[in-house]
A and B are shown apart, each in its own frame.
Chain A
Amino acid sequence: MIDIPVMRWGKPYESLEKAEVIHFETGEPIASVSQANGGLLARDMKKSDRARQLLREFSIDDLIERAARAADLFENETLPLGNGTQSADEFVTHQSASTGLPEAMCRSNMKKNSFVLRNMGQILDCLTRGLPREILSRGYGVESRDVTVSYQAQASVLGAVLPSNSPGVHTLWLPVIPLQFGLVLKPGSSEPWTAYRVASAFEQVGIPSEAIGLYPGGHDVGATLLTSCRRSMVFGSEKTVNQYAGDPRVQVHGPGFSKIFLGEDCVDRWEEFIDLMVESVYINGGRSCINCSTIFAPRHTVEIAQALAERLGPIEPLPTTDPEAGLAAFTTPGVGAAVWNMVEEDLQAAGVTDCTAEYGERLVDRERYSYLRPVVAHAENPDCAIVSKEFMFPFATVANCPQSEMIKKAGPTLVGTAITEDPDWMDQLTAATNIDRLNIGPIATNRLNWLQPHEGNLIDFLFRSRAYQVALQDTPLS
């Protein structure tokens, strides 16, 4: 069994308390992970400034080049992990076994992470909108239009409380090291793999291990991380989102409530977009915040829901090793049943039809784990409770809604795909503040263009644009 220590700025620390990462089907232990305590992290945070100092000894360009080399190692090579090593294949096997995600999805997420590492230069260009990198590095500089600009770093490190069930989200914090900020990560209890493997790959390419801290542990570690880091990310439920709403130090990533809007001008061609809708709902086991949970259309909603149900309803859980496996397991006993109870309650409401009912039982309950097969619901109007729901499996509601009400009824939307060519409505969609990432035209909600800033731009979060004046001979007075 792999023994994974706490990493205190690069120094392994074997705790007296360990938590086992177990195989979701067999219950067999895969790894034993040392558990930090909150105080230990709080103490280490006193040394966090050193992480940025060390990284600033490298240029951002140099770190970008090293990140690209780390991408190859992360994706292909055997890397040190705890008291042993882990090959790329083992990474996939381990991640699948502990999270319940099919291996093909783990591999796909792995590629997504390595893509971001490999293309870090372009990613940073997109995040900074082309700002010369040395301005970030030095704190100020002169832009091509001969204007002095200054970006003040708001922290030395970025902290992140990582999830256990969504290995795709790691792309959000990967640019932090090339931006010369240290990382303090609390890996998810059943997904320590990505954080440790990225740290290992970075170390192999000469990035100082003292720039990264890895603190697996309980709730007190997460709470300490969020209070002791001046900038941190947390991934969680709507409750977590509400808890940290308005805290400028914390960027919260919760449910996405991503949606597809079919406009009046395109809805009669709905059959052309069914593949896009299926992909948006089903990809990555329906677990991502960028998976579509609601489809708004002004008519044809029953036909759309039935067509989606016909495609998604028959899907069954397959072994994680099957390349066709598309559903992820709920690895905590009882969770699948609890989620199904919530879904079932919403399905029984007036005006709601369960379109996947005819394709058999949705809950597949095993002793140690469970699956939920895809659910497609139809809602007669956008006010049905189910319209604003999102679950961690392929789930979507097709809601009948006049185009004029869609933006208002949509509520918070991480990714909104609007299938329309109507310039007036496009204008309204562009102005809507409740939609974060906006796709105009038939683009699946999961198809992220990495050259667009992610949810909660990292640059805006880590830096503050401010006034900066240098007294030179010819400095004009305003």
Chain B
Amino acid sequence: MSSSTDLETAKQQAQDQLDQHACEMVQRHFHESTGCPFWLQKKQELGFDPLTEVRCYEDLKKFPLFEDEWLRGGPVERWRMKDMSDRPTYVFETGGTTGIPKSRVVVDDFRTDYELFSDTLPDEYFPKGANWLMLGPSGPRRLRLAVEHLAQYRGGICFCIDLDPRWVVKLIKHGWTEQIEAYKNHCIDQAITILTAGHDIQCMFATPKLLDYLCLALEDRGTSLVELGVKGIFSGGTEFTPQWTRYAVEELLGGPASEGGVYMTPTYGNTLMGLACSKPITAEDGYKISYYAPQPRAVTEVVSFDDPGSVVGYGETGRVKLTTLTPEFFVPGFLERDEGERERPFELYPWDGVSGVRPFHQLATSTTVGVY
């Protein structure tokens, strides 16, 4: 059988799996015995019965687009699945610089997502049992606990820093450049203290900006991540562009991992979805970054700016649309604040991906990205 036939078969299998999973999740979220109060109430307004009229992924288009404003404010219990209400529950928040933040309740999702992500990490660069540094936001954020769980799942211990991104946004809005600089240095000092304290840290999460600052600060001290023994980093954010990746590989991380540099893999995700992995990045491919969602738990599509129900052609630009289908959270089509190009399936991820992710051009001017 040719590789193209293999890919076609894999695509079909993935689609079948997605259809079945979508159907199961809708049954779960809209059944009186399991569903959360929010969706059970919403069901009354839908004008169709999800339990009988959703038979495949495509049928999810019958739902109106998810509005993340629904996540703002309480009572947060309306999002708890009936059959999970006795389980220890976390609440994670997004943004929150002004007004009431959006919140999402989680029981197991962040652990499941990061365990699945863990399976994609090469052991050579993320050794099992190695300790981690989480160089990212702290506070009521999914990322902080998720990275810690990832480290623990892989047999290591995770060190963290204190970083309040809401304060950073305020500093930026006020234009307090001196304080921004001081806060940045405060974060980097914490990281360097941990990295040089003999904890044998070999793996890290870092946002692009903090990784940049950290590497420059280490260079000022006459050392580098390679010298300190860091082998693998995973990172994320819309400022993760091909140019930035190239710059990081060539100038911050000691060259490509195959030539002794630190391995770095970009990711794309947020509190609403799991973690989309990147197709392996190479210099030969112009450091192009293409993300693939963890189907069937989450799906990303690139849709027309004018018609969110219509997927654009391969290579064409559109807005990123997210669908989350986990046993504890249901998001039937949410328009992300990002845009990008639709990418073709390939062997590792036989479903659509998205490349060139960047802030949605119509919202870009009003959004502060990459604050930490």
User: Per-position contact with B for A28-47: 1 when CB-CB < 8 Å, else 0?
Assistant: 00000001011110110010
Is residue A16 contacting chain B, with contact meaning CB distance below 8 A?
yes
Is residue A226 contacting chain B, with contact meaning CB distance below 8 A?
yes
- Chain A residues, Cβ within 8 Å of B247: 37, 39-40
- Complex CA gap A40/B248 in Å reads 9
Is residue B282 contacting chain A, with contact meaning CB distance below 8 A?
no
Given A16-B287, A227-B177, residue A39 in contact with residue B252 (CB < 8 A): yes
- Complex CA gap A46/B247 in Å reads 16
- Chain B residues, Cβ within 8 Å of A37: 241, 243-244, 247
- Complex CA gap A130/B28 in Å reads 85
User: Size band of the B side of the interface?
Assistant: 10 to 19
Is there an interface contact between A42 and B216, defined as CB atoms closer than 8 Å?
A: yes
A49 → chain B, closest Cβ, in Å? 14
- Chain A residues, Cβ within 8 Å of B287: 16
> Residue of B at shortest CB range from A240?
B175
Is residue A17 contacting chain B, with contact meaning CB distance below 8 A?
yes
Is residue A15 contacting chain B, with contact meaning CB distance below 8 A?
yes
Is there an interface contact between B177 and A39, defined as CB atoms closer than 8 Å?
A: no
Is residue A223 contacting chain B, with contact meaning CB distance below 8 A?
yes
- Chain A residues, Cβ within 8 Å of B220: 46
Number of A-B contacts (CB under 8 A): 40
Name the one of A17, A35, A39, A243 contacting B212, with C-beta atoms under 8 angstroms.
A39
Is there an interface contact between B177 and A40, defined as CB atoms closer than 8 Å?
A: no
Given A43-B251, A226-B177, residue A35 in contact with residue B216 (CB < 8 A): no
- Chain A residues, Cβ within 8 Å of B246: 16
B245-284 CB contacts (< 8 Å) to partner A: 246-247, 251-252
Is there an interface contact between B251 and A16, defined as CB atoms closer than 8 Å?
A: no
- Chain B residues, Cβ within 8 Å of A16: 241-243, 246, 286-287
- Complex CA gap A223/B286 in Å reads 27
- Complex CA gap A247/B212 in Å reads 25
A418 → chain B, closest Cβ, in Å? 35
- Complex CA gap A243/B171 in Å reads 12
> Residue of A at shortest CB range from B248?
A39
Is there an interface contact between B243 and A42, defined as CB atoms closer than 8 Å?
A: no
- Complex CA gap A15/B286 in Å reads 11
A contact residues, total (Cβ < 8 Å): 16
- Chain A residues, Cβ within 8 Å of B212: 38-39, 42
- Complex CA gap A39/B208 in Å reads 10
- Chain B residues, Cβ within 8 Å of A40: 247, 251
Question: Which one of A39, A40, A42 has the highest number of Cβ atoms from chain B below 10 Å of its Cβ?
Answer: A39
Is residue B181 contacting chain A, with contact meaning CB distance below 8 A?
yes
Is there an interface contact between A243 and B175, defined as CB atoms closer than 8 Å?
A: yes
A282 → chain B, closest Cβ, in Å? 33
Is there an interface contact between B242 and A17, defined as CB atoms closer than 8 Å?
A: yes
> Residue of B at shortest CB range from A35?
B243
> Residue of A at shortest CB range from B251?
A43
- Complex CA gap A15/B243 in Å reads 6
- Complex CA gap A296/B212 in Å reads 53
B164-221 CB contacts (< 8 Å) to partner A: 175, 177-178, 181, 212, 216, 219-220
- Chain A residues, Cβ within 8 Å of B178: 247
- Chain B residues, Cβ within 8 Å of A43: 216, 219, 251
- Chain B residues, Cβ within 8 Å of A42: 212, 216
- Complex CA gap A15/B220 in Å reads 25
A45-92 CB contacts (< 8 Å) to partner B: 46
B216 → chain A, closest Cβ, in Å? 6
Question: Which one of A16, A38, A227 has the highest number of Cβ atoms from chain B below 10 Å of its Cβ?
Answer: A16
Is there an interface contact between B219 and A46, defined as CB atoms closer than 8 Å?
A: yes
- Chain A residues, Cβ within 8 Å of B242: 16-17
Is there an interface contact between A17 and B243, defined as CB atoms closer than 8 Å?
A: yes
Question: Which one of A35, A38, A226 has the highest number of Cβ atoms from chain B below 10 Å of its Cβ?
Answer: A38
A237 → chain B, closest Cβ, in Å? 12
- Complex CA gap A227/B178 in Å reads 8
- Complex CA gap A15/B246 in Å reads 9
> Residue of B at shortest CB range from A17?
B243
- Complex CA gap A43/B246 in Å reads 14
Residues of B within 8 A of A (CB): 175, 177-178, 181, 212, 216, 219-220, 241-244, 246-247, 251-252, 286-287
Residues of A within 8 A of B (CB): 15-17, 35, 37-40, 42-43, 46, 223, 226-227, 243, 247
Give 21 pairs: A residue, B residue, CB < 8 Å, sorted on A: A15-B243, A16-B241, A16-B286, A17-B242, A17-B243, A35-B243, A37-B244, A39-B212, A39-B244, A39-B247, A39-B252, A40-B251, A42-B212, A43-B216, A43-B219, A46-B216, A223-B177, A226-B177, A227-B181, A247-B177, A247-B178
The 9 tightest CB contacts between A and B, nearest first, are A39-B212, A16-B243, A17-B243, A243-B175, A16-B242, A15-B243, A40-B247, A37-B244, A42-B216
